[in-house]
Amino acid sequence: MKKIKTALISVSDKNNLKPVLEILKKYQIKIISSGGTYKEIKKLKFNCLEVSDFTDSPEILEGRVKTLHPKIHAGILNKRNNKTHLNDLKKNNFENIDLVIVNFYPFEKTLETTNNHKKIIENIDVGGPTMVRSAAKNYNDVTVITSSNQYQELIDEMNKNNGATSLNFREKLSRTAFTETAYYDSVISSYFNKKTNIHLPDKKIFSANLIEKLRYGENPHQFSGYYSKNLKTNLKQIHGKQLSYNNYNDIFSALTISKSLPKNKGTVIVKHANPCGVSINSNPIDSYKSALACDPISAFGGIVSCNFKIKKNLAVELNKLFLEVIIANGFDNDSLRLLKNKKNLRIIDATNYSISEITKFNSSNEAILIQSEDLKIFKNEDFKVVSKRKPSPKMLKNLIFAFNVCRYVKSNAIVLAKDESIVGIGSGQPSRLDSCEIAINKMRKFNLFGDNLIAASDAFFPFVDGIEKLVQSGVQAVIQPSGSIRDKEIIKFANETDTILVFSKTRHFRH
d(CA 185, CA 417): 48
β-strand pairing of 454-457 with 414-418: antiparallel
Beta strand pairing status for 367-372 and 454-457?
unpaired
Mark whether 232 is an active-site residue.
Answer: no
Torsion of CA 488, 490, 491, 492, to 10 degrees: 80
Decide: helix, strand or coil at residue 346: strand
Is position 397 annotated as part of the catalytic site? no
- Choose, from 14, 18, 137, 397, the residue flagged as catalytic: 137
E strands present in 185-240: 209-214, 224-228, 236-239
Contact 503, 384 (CB under 8 A): yes
Residue 320 contacts by C-beta under 8 Å, 6 or more apart in sequence?
none
Distance, CA of 434 to CA of 438 (rounded, Å): 6
The one catalytic residue in 18, 272, 397, 492 is 272
Pairing relationship of beta strands 421-426 and 454-457 according to DSSP bridges: unpaired
Cβ-based burial of 250 (10 A; exposed 0-12, middle 13-18, buried ≥19): buried
All residues at 6 or more sequence positions from 194 whose CB lies less than 8 Å from its CB, including other chains: none
d(C-alpha 506, C-alpha 483), whole Å: 9
Closest CA to 34 of 11, 14, 60, 13: 11
Spatial strand order in the sheet of 49-50 = 49-50, 30-33, 6-11, 99-103, 143-145
How far, in Å, CA of 305 to CA of 348, rounded? 9
Please enumerate, as own/partner, the contacts of 367-373 that have beta carbons within 8 Å and a separation of 24 or more: 368/204, 370/200, 370/204, 372/199, 373/256
Active site residues: 137, 272
